[in-house]
Each structure stands twice: as structure tokens, then as C-alpha cells.
Amino acid sequence: MIHPVLLCGGSGTRLWPLSRKSYPKQFADLLGEDSLFQASARRFACAGFADPLVVTGDPFRFIVTEQLDAVGIRPAGILIEPEGRNTAPAACAAAIDVLERDAEGMVLLLPSDHAIPDADAFRATIAQGVAAAESGQIVTFGIKPTRAETGYGWLETGAEAHGALTLERFIEKPDQARAETLFANPRYLWNAGVFLARADVLVRAFQTHAPEILKTVAAAMEAAKEDLSFTRIDPALWAAVPDDSIDFAVMEKAGNLSAVRFDGHWSDLGGWEAVWLESGKDSDGNAVSDNATALECRNTLLRAEAPDQELVAIGLENVVAVAMRDAVMVADISKAQNVKTAVKVLKERGAKQALEFPIDHRPWGWFETLVLADRFQVKRIHVNPGAALSLQSHHHRSEHWIVVAGTAKVTVDDDVKLVTENQSVYIPLGAVHRMENPGKVPMVLIEVQTGTYLGEDDIVRYEDVYSRS
């Protein structure tokens, strides 16, 4: 059985402001109704593949479960990395997990933020590598290049073996002249970062080429604890795991490598130019969102991400403009990769927009701040059906809740009551309280906080169905 492993711990800063550390690009709506993560999971939700194993970080664990549930996919497991240590430790942990559950299983390592429109063709390409993987090869999947790309690593392939091509070597991101040479030779492919191997073969590869990673990851996995539907890798032992990519740690040293070429369409959506290339365009090359308008423009990408926002561009050419409620980014498309530099500048200035998404996703739903001023804050809070916030209190603020949609079950000290639309309730300073949504539709309320300190860390939790401390 092939076990898809979805790696989704990256931050995706090259797609700022839509992608940020608190809500990276794999979870965002970039090209359609599904997020890139959901599309990656759907791609292998079919016969011949086990339920996916997800490796992610603690801040994203409930986003993962919510997005998988929305597309009807039940994961085989969700491994929580205490901190990101690059792809090698994540891959090693996944191989150990799969090997424990299926001694003859194969691991299919997959980035969760790639765009592959033809899922059938990609699955057929994966199938071409199965015989080689069963024979003990580690199979990587190279993309037939469509241009002399300097932003990707490349693969050099050789003769056929085991139904696949031998992999001669990995090539780091080339300069333009080198990329032109590689593009002209059909032996060279883009490196997609997708690998297929028997779990035992992958573990042995770590034992041979990265023994310290295997030793420390195995210890952290042995000490892992179950938490709701998650497996929390031991944080103290994980801190000793070396930080390395799977390419550097294992693949560039291994001798049992094969490659299979994928001729279909693929993109890693590594920047706004790539998003523009993948988006539907008008006759002038403009890709615009529902709330954006292009007048006398050519080859532009215009995205207005807030539903009550209008973005209008006049006379622009080769420009990307992304407008969100709290941040706007405008750049020449050819320079849009430099957005990483902009994020660095914002971080140095202490701007919260550098890392924080305007909507704060929580296991029970989400909230957004509508107004924040001295001694008061106004939030819109969305609680999913059947969900509940923790039983909590605050040292520095009181709260007023006004229900605007659905029904809230509200606990304030010993008083429990239902609060329906257009009704409100007051939460005094220090009161032990909770809100729940007992209904079958989302519950929305407006929260007005007043007090001397309004930070999210002013929470004392007494009970929490999501096991947050």
C-alpha cells in the first residue's frame, strides 16, 4: 500500500500578504474552492492509496483537521512537529510512523502546496515508479521543464532501470546561462521534491547517510504522546534533531535513486508570478478577483481579498497588486520574489502584518479584530456548529457579547443560559465564562472588550475540549 505523506509546515512568505507565518499558502484559497492542501489530499483519496499521514506544526493542527473534514478525508494520523527542522526530520518521522503501521508499506512524500491540475496523470506517473520502489529504489519525480527556470533545483537523469530512469545527480538552482543549457537537454528535469520508497528502505537510507537524524527522530517519536487525534512528537528530544533538507541529508548521498518524468502541468506556486501564470486571464493577460477591476491594463494580477473591498487598477502593465484588510502589496511581476525582503523589513519594524493573518483561526472557528484602540477592542467571532471555547477568565478585561447569527450557550460563573440573535450578555472582570454553539449553523457574535490590557495571553483556562493549556 502507498501511504501519502503531506508535509505542510512551511511559511510561504513569497506569497505575502495572502500567505503568512500564522496562515501559510497551503491553507489559502489561491486557485479555486479547495486550498492547495485540500487539493493535495484529494489527489490521492482513491483506490491504491492509504489515508494520508500529515506532518505539520502545532499552530496548524486544527486547520488541518478542519480542512480535511471539509473535503471528507480522514487522515491516518497527524504528526505534530514541536518546531520546524526542515524536510529531512519530517520525512524520517513519517517513515518511522508508516513502518510501524505497515511493514511492507511505501511512503509517498509530498509537498502540500503544489498545483497539479491533472490528478489522474500525476497518479499514473506515480504508478510508473512503483516497480522501482518495490525493488528497493528511492524514486523521485521530475517535471518536464517548460522554461529555463532559475528558481528550481534540477535533476540529471540517465538510462532506464527498473521501469524508471537512473538519477545521476541533483543540481542546485542554476544561474540563467546554466538553466538555458539544462533546458536544452531532455535529460534534465525540474526537481519537484516528491519521493516514493518503501518505508524500510527510507529508514535504512537515514541509517546509512544521516544516522544522527534517525537516532534523534526515533527517540522523539518513541516518546511521542497522543493528544486528541494528534501525535505530539516529544519537544525536548526533537530540539536535538539536526535541521536539514532530505535532499542534502539523504538523497544526494544515496546510490539507489531512480527518477520518473512527469509530462503534465505542474507549479510549486513559489511566487506571485507563478500564481499569475496559473490563473485564468482576460484577452489582455489580466487575472483579476471578483472585487478587482482592470482598466487599460495588460498582464496584471489583481486580487482584492476582503469581500467589502474594491481594487481598481488603471493603465498598469506587468504589475501584481494584492489588497487585504490590513495590508496591500504592489510590485512589478518580475520583482515580486522580493516580497520576502519586504516581510523582513516589516518584521524589523515590528509590524504584526509581517507574520499574523488578519483572521485568527482557532479549533472552534475564527475571529477578527474590527477595532483596536486604547482600553477597548471590538471583535467578530465565528463559532462552528457544536464547537465550544474554553472555560476561562481574564485578569484585565471585561466583555460584552452581542449575538448576530445563531444561538450561543453562555456560561458566566454559575449561570448558564441561551442567548439568541439580537440579545447580549455581559462578562464581568474575573468571571469564569464560556461560549458554545449548540446549534447546527454557525454562530456569530460581536465582542466588545474593555480593560487595561487586551492581549490574547490574558486567558486563564480551566477546561478545554481541545487540550490547550
For the chain, residues classed under CATH 3.90.550.10 are 2-262
For the chain, residues classed under CATH 2.60.120.10 are 363-463
Q: Are strands 225-227 and 154-161 parallel, antiparallel or unpaired?
A: unpaired
- Kindly give the confidence (pLDDT) of every residue in the chain, 469 residues in length, as a single tens digit, with 9 standing for 90 and above: 999 999 998 777 889 999 999 899 999 888 878 999 999 999 999 999 999 999 999 989 999 999 999 999 999 999 999 999 999 999 999 999 999 999 999 999 999 999 999 999 999 999 999 999 999 999 999 999 999 998 899 999 998 877 799 999 999 999 999 999 999 999 999 999 999 999 999 999 999 999 999 999 999 999 999 988 899 999 999 999 999 999 999 999 999 999 999 999 999 998 999 999 999 999 999 999 999 999 999 999 999 998 889 999 999 999 999 999 999 999 999 999 899 999 999 999 999 999 999 999 999 999 999 999 999 999 999 999 999 999 999 999 999 999 999 999 999 999 999 999 999 999 999 999 999 999 999 999 999 999 999 999 999 999 998 887 6
- 363-463, what's its fold? Jelly Rolls (2.60.120)
Let me know: does 32 contact 42? Beta carbons within 8 Å: no
Q: Are strands 415-419 and 408-412 parallel, antiparallel or unpaired?
A: antiparallel
For the record, the C-alpha cell of 61 comes out as 493542527
- CATH annotation of 2-262: 3.90.550.10
